[in-house]
Chains A and B, each alone.
Chain A
Amino acid sequence: MSSRIPGRPAGAWKGHAFVALCGAAAAIIVAMLAVILFDVVRSGWAGLGWQFLVSAPSEGMRGGGVGPAIFGTFALVLLMTIAVVPLGVLTAVYLFEYARPDSGFARAVNLAVSNLAGVPSIVFGLFGLGFFVRFVGGGIDRVFHGGELAWGKPSILWAALTLALLTLPVVIVTTGEALRAVPVAAREASFALGATKWQTISRVVLPQSLAGILTGAILAVSRGAGEVAPIMFTGAAYFLPKLPSRLTDQFMELGYHVYVLSTQSPDIEATKPILYSTVLVLLFLTFLLNATAIAIRARFRAALRPQDA
């Protein structure tokens, strides 16, 4: 009976303490989210209404609604999606299907993608101002408009392209994951029938990656929809009497509107109720987009699950 191994390890309490610590950390996060949500809903709910969602701000931001900002947000995000999805998908297809993984160019692109993801969003804003607005826009004006100001100023187009750059890594990474998840067996089946590489990618690999690509697009949208810094210098406006109708127009946007209401308005106390309602709308939109992404992912996963023989 003189076992050298004690029945109960001496340091067992350490394990329990660790579990408790992890639990506490998780609880803090949940609590914080709950407090934020509660605060926003409590202060913002009353101001919400049909009128608030469609009308324009009035009385120096103390009245009215966020209609133009919602419109601007959708327009911005739509343009951004049109730019980022094809660019991201093509880059991912090149990286993961065509480039040899050890080639210098593939490594450079990979490095660029992972570094792009870590760049602070304000830097994207400054880059957008310098590159898209001044360089590209200004260049267009010099060449085609004899120096007259048309493209070389902040606009919804340049803001959308700046956001597209910011969200590009999300699309590339999720598309890459989706491409790699297509089983070798499916590719082999296609090649064995005499398909070319392009036919295999376009008819087998891409359709099977659709869920991943869609998820990436929606994650990019929900990431882009809340960003303020990149659009601050590239196209977002404080207040506009008119909705944007051309690519060169400026626009109002929800995230930027929150920023404006909380820091730039003449009477910050008086705008508070509207501020909270605006935040509520923004949060709701973001949650909705994330939930859509999760739902799509789950549906396609279930549909594509390989059936075993």
Chain B
Amino acid sequence: MDAGAEATPVKVSARDLDVFYGATQALHGITLDARANRVTALIGPSGCGKSTFLRSINRMNDLIAGMRRQGTILLDGRDIHDPDVDVVDLRRRVGMVFQRSNPFPKSIYENVAYGPRIHGVSDRTTLDEIVRTTLEQAALWDEVKDRLGASALSLSGGQQQRLCIARALAVEPEVLLMDEPASALDPLATARIEELIHELKERYTILIVTHNMQQAARVSDTTAYFYMGRLVEMGPTAQIFTNPSKQETEDYITGRFG
């Protein structure tokens, strides 16, 4: 494992976060810190609240009718629910890559340019530059540079997911939320995304949900194990995978779980 141990500043911090969907409580008092330039992996069985937690950080859950929240999330020490926090600005700073790749039915170029455009960039050379650099960052440039005008839907699944990563990077976020970004991909495409995560963490704070234990072990510095809406255990990935302090965590990681 690389330099996961030495502490960088806390970028995202949840404090006693409860989330309810109607009457059901999806998260129970989550307190969790994600450090800058580190990859934090969220693992746990299906339905334990990983996506809910992720979607709380960029307030995507606000769009769900009947969602209720208690507790806070701090971004750089500031409460993201402060009345003077602009949710549009928050979502620009906290990018998201979804479990199922969801490119717009527009050209490859327009997919990447979408974010900068809505935030007021209209100069063509600037847009060209953003499109090129973010596609390079997402390791897709060489495959698409000759057909930027082609429909994004003509790309393969793995390429589409990298396009979605490029699209998220194009608004220069500080935090990147990735909800099972490789779950629909073959091993080769998955390996590329994991490589990408390694490179991206030099510039971003990354939180990634994954069901793949090897993947969590490979890409993350810190791992958090969720179970039934609670944070059971969190610590350096190496320690969680070799010497977890809770029996439940060990059962889940070793596959002895349910």
Chain A positions within 8 Å of B, measured between CB atoms, are 183, 185-186, 188-196, 199, 203-204, 207-208, 303-304, 306-309
Q: Are A303 and B105 in contact (CB under 8 A)?
A: yes
Q: Are B60 and A193 in contact (CB under 8 A)?
A: no
Q: Are A193 and B101 in contact (CB under 8 A)?
A: no
Interface residue? B164 (CB, 8 A): yes
Which residue on B lies nearest to A199, using beta carbons?
B118
Q: Are A194 and B105 in contact (CB under 8 A)?
A: no
Interface residue? B88 (CB, 8 A): yes
Q: Are B98 and A193 in contact (CB under 8 A)?
A: no
Q: Are A309 and B60 in contact (CB under 8 A)?
A: no
On chain B, the residues within 8 Å of A196 by CB distance are 88, 118
- Complex Cα distance, B118 from A189, in Å, reads 13
On chain B, the residues within 8 Å of A208 by CB distance are 105
- Could you tell me the distance in whole angstroms from the C-beta of A286 to the nearest C-beta in chain B? 32
- Complex Cα distance, B152 from A186, in Å, reads 13
Which of B10-18, B89-97, B209-217, B228-236 forms part of the interface with chain A? B89-97
Interface residue? B249 (CB, 8 A): no
Q: Are A308 and B157 in contact (CB under 8 A)?
A: yes
Considering only residues 104-160 of chain B, those with a C-beta below 8 Å from chain A are 104-106, 114-115, 118-119, 153-154, 157-158, 160
On chain A, the residues within 8 Å of B154 by CB distance are 307
- Could you tell me the distance in whole angstroms from the C-beta of B132 to the nearest C-beta in chain A? 18
Q: Are B63 and A191 in contact (CB under 8 A)?
A: yes
Instruction: From known contacts A185-B102, A309-B160, A309-B161, infer whether A192 and B118 are also in contact, taking CB-CB under 8 Å.
Output: no
- Could you tell me the distance in whole angstroms from the C-beta of B168 to the nearest C-beta in chain A? 7
Which residue on A lies nearest to B90, using beta carbons?
A194
- Complex Cα distance, B104 from A303, in Å, reads 12
Q: Are A188 and B60 in contact (CB under 8 A)?
A: yes
Tell me which of A185, A189, A199, A207 has the highest count of chain B C-beta atoms within 10 A of its own C-beta: A189
Interface residue? B28 (CB, 8 A): no
18 A-B contacts (beta carbon < 8 Å): A183-B102, A188-B102, A189-B98, A189-B102, A190-B104, A190-B114, A192-B58, A192-B96, A192-B168, A193-B171, A203-B114, A204-B104, A208-B105, A303-B105, A307-B153, A307-B154, A308-B157, A309-B161
Q: Are B102 and A193 in contact (CB under 8 A)?
A: no
- Could you tell me the distance in whole angstroms from the C-beta of B169 to the nearest C-beta in chain A? 11
Which residue on A lies nearest to B160, using beta carbons?
A309
- Could you tell me the distance in whole angstroms from the C-beta of B219 to the nearest C-beta in chain A? 20
Q: Are B101 and A194 in contact (CB under 8 A)?
A: no
On chain B, the residues within 8 Å of A188 by CB distance are 60, 63, 98, 102
Q: Are A309 and B91 in contact (CB under 8 A)?
A: no
Q: Are A309 and B184 in contact (CB under 8 A)?
A: yes
- Complex Cα distance, B102 from A45, in Å, reads 53
Q: Are B157 and A309 in contact (CB under 8 A)?
A: yes
- Complex Cα distance, B112 from A189, in Å, reads 12
Interface residue? B38 (CB, 8 A): no
Q: Are B157 and A194 in contact (CB under 8 A)?
A: no
Tell me which of A190, A192, A196, A304 has the highest count of chain B C-beta atoms within 10 A of its own C-beta: A192
On chain B, the residues within 8 Å of A303 by CB distance are 105
Q: Are B157 and A195 in contact (CB under 8 A)?
A: no
- Complex Cα distance, B105 from A207, in Å, reads 9
Interface residue? B35 (CB, 8 A): no
Q: Are B91 and A191 in contact (CB under 8 A)?
A: yes
Tell me which of A190, A191, A196, A304 has the highest count of chain B C-beta atoms within 10 A of its own C-beta: A191
Considering only residues 56-95 of chain B, those with a C-beta below 8 Å from chain A are 58, 60, 63, 88-92, 95
Interface residue? B167 (CB, 8 A): yes
On chain B, the residues within 8 Å of A190 by CB distance are 104, 114, 118
Which residue on B lies nearest to A200, using beta carbons?
B118
Interface residue? B48 (CB, 8 A): no
Q: Are B92 and A194 in contact (CB under 8 A)?
A: yes
On chain B, the residues within 8 Å of A194 by CB distance are 88-92, 115, 118-119, 171
Name the one of B95, B103, B105, B119 contacting A192, with C-beta atoms under 8 angstroms.
B95
Interface residue? B185 (CB, 8 A): yes
On chain B, the residues within 8 Å of A185 by CB distance are 98, 100, 102
On chain A, the residues within 8 Å of B89 by CB distance are 194
Instruction: From known contacts A185-B100, A191-B91, infer whether A307 and B60 are also in contact, taking CB-CB under 8 Å.
Output: no
On chain A, the residues within 8 Å of B168 by CB distance are 192-193
Which residue on B lies nearest to A101, using beta carbons?
B65
- Complex Cα distance, B167 from A183, in Å, reads 18
- Complex Cα distance, B241 from A299, in Å, reads 52
- Could you tell me the distance in whole angstroms from the C-beta of B49 to the nearest C-beta in chain A? 18
Name the one of A186, A193, A308 contacting B92, with C-beta atoms under 8 angstroms.
A193
The 7 closest A-B pairs by CB, nearest first: A309-B157, A194-B92, A185-B102, A194-B91, A193-B115, A309-B184, A192-B96
- Could you tell me the distance in whole angstroms from the C-beta of B82 to the nearest C-beta in chain A? 17
Known: A193-B92, A204-B104, A309-B100. 4 other contacts (CB 8 A): A194-B88, A195-B118, A203-B114, A307-B153
Q: Are B153 and A193 in contact (CB under 8 A)?
A: no
- Could you tell me the distance in whole angstroms from the C-beta of A308 to the nearest C-beta in chain B? 7
On chain B, the residues within 8 Å of A199 by CB distance are 118
Instruction: From known contacts A208-B105, A308-B157, A309-B161, infer whether A192 and B91 are also in contact, taking CB-CB under 8 Å.
Output: yes
On chain B, the residues within 8 Å of A203 by CB distance are 114, 118
- Complex Cα distance, B103 from A193, in Å, reads 12
